Amino acid sequence: MTNTSTSDANISLAERAWNIRHKSLRMGAVQKQGYVGQALGVSDVLAVSYFHAMTFRPEDPEWEGRDRFLLSIGHYAIALYAALLEAGILPEYELETYGTDNSRLPMSGMASYTPGMEITGGSLGHGLGIGVGMALGLKRKQSESFVYNLMSDGELGEGSTWEAAMSAAHHKLDNLICLVDFNDQQADGKSTEMLSSEPVDAKFEAFGWYAQRVDGNDIDGLVAAFDNARNYEGAKPRAIICDTKMCKGVPFLEEREITHFVRVDEEEWDLALKVLEEGKPS
């Protein structure tokens, strides 16, 4: 994947993405562990979701008029907390409670713990189906809101994902946008070597979706894809498959052997933060 530069208009999104990376790493440093590889990879997608595409009120996370954001991949909670902190939905000082007892920021995302965490993820392949129901419900209420479901490429292996994909198209859910973080990594190895879901965009199209595939670390490309997804006029659900690079923004981690739970040694947390800070967008 090539390094991408961001157009002037989207510089603030690059800053938001950097802030999400930085907060994720700081949370990882609190526990000396965490799914920071995934968080660093998906930060651009989250920045464009929260700071370009979505409507929400930070002071009222359950405001009826909000766009819904479902985190199907519970272990990406560290990344979503960073986005929720950056969006002002969670107070900044709670960052250092990450993963501690009685924290509102447990390591896996749960609806009952955290403002802004719409669903309980973790048992993978759940988000899209719940999204179908919420999208149906929003239509019943004649709401203009969108439902965004963020899932991983690994979740494409779950049959429930495809039940939901078929259902969303059948019910013409044009208010449902599925974001797939395609980092080609799952617990036992590369997703494409565990149970290949390729060609993913063609599969979504065959299931009746409007599908796009983009470089998930290219903010300009993401902005265009989100705009296309929101403005598409067909009565179809929309998928954006985002090819991302795990550990993006911290070169020494990017170059490390990538695994599901990327190894960061105890003394490397400070170094990772330092390296990230050197790459801060100006």
Partner 1 sequence: MSLSRRLSKWEPRKPVDASERQLTSAMIASLSAEGMPTVSAPFGHKLVELAKEREDIVGLSADLAKYTDLHVFAQAYPDRFYQMGMAEQVFVSAAAGLAKEGFTPFATTYAVFASRRAYDFIAMAIAEDNLNVKICCALPGLTTGYGPSHQATEDLAIFRGLPNMTIVDPCDALDTEQAVEAIAEHKGPVYMRLLRGKVPSVLHEIEDYRFELGKAKLLRDGNDVLFITSGFMTMRALEAADELAKDGIKAGILHTPTIKPLDVDTILEHCRKPGRLVITAENHSIMGGLGEAVASTLLRNSVTPAFRQIALPDEFLDAGALPVLHDQYGISTEAMIRQTKAWLG
The answer to whether 216 and 249 are in contact (CB under 8 A) is no
The answer to whether 49 and 226 are in contact (CB under 8 A) is yes
The one among 87, 89, 119, 247 contacting partner 1 by CB under 8 A: 119
Q: Is the CB of 166 or the CB of 194 nearer to partner 1?
A: 166
From the list 159, 140, 148, the residue with the least C-alpha distance to 42 is: 148
From the list 2, 76, 88, the residue with the least C-alpha distance to 41 is: 76
Q: Decide: helix, strand or coil at residue 268.
A: helix
The one among 118, 155, 174, 243 contacting partner 1 by CB under 8 A: 118
Q: Is the CB of 4 or the CB of 123 nearer to partner 1?
A: 123
Q: How far apart are CA 223 and CA 47, in angstroms?
A: 10
- The reply to whether 170 sits near partner 1 by the rule CB under 8 A is yes
Residue 240: DSSP 8-state: E
User: Could you tell me the two tokens for 20?
Assistant: 């999400």
- The reply to whether 164 sits near partner 1 by the rule CB under 8 A is yes
The one among 58, 104, 110, 232 contacting partner 1 by CB under 8 A: 110
- The reply to whether 150 sits near partner 1 by the rule CB under 8 A is no
Left (φ > 0), alpha (ψ -120 to 50) or beta: where does 267 sit? alpha
By CB under 8 A, which span of 48-56, 129-137, 198-206, 227-235 interacts with partner 1? 129-137
- The reply to whether 137 sits near partner 1 by the rule CB under 8 A is yes
Q: Is the CB of 101 or the CB of 141 nearer to partner 1?
A: 141
Q: How far apart are CA 176 and CA 242, in angstroms?
A: 16
Residue 220: CB minimum distance to partner 1, A: 32
- The reply to whether 71 sits near partner 1 by the rule CB under 8 A is no
The one among 2, 3, 102, 112 contacting partner 1 by CB under 8 A: 112
Q: Is the CB of 57 or the CB of 170 nearer to partner 1?
A: 170
Q: Is the CB of 115 or the CB of 133 nearer to partner 1?
A: 133
Q: What's the gap between Cα 276 and its chain centre?
A: 20
- The reply to whether 163 sits near partner 1 by the rule CB under 8 A is yes
Which value, in Å, is the radius of gyration of the alpha carbons in the chain?
17
The answer to whether 147 and 138 are in contact (CB under 8 A) is yes
- Residues that contact partner 1, how many (by CB under 8 A): 31
**Binding site residues, partner 1, CB under 8 A:** 110-112, 118-120, 122-123, 125-126, 128-138, 140-141, 159-160, 163-164, 166-167, 170-171
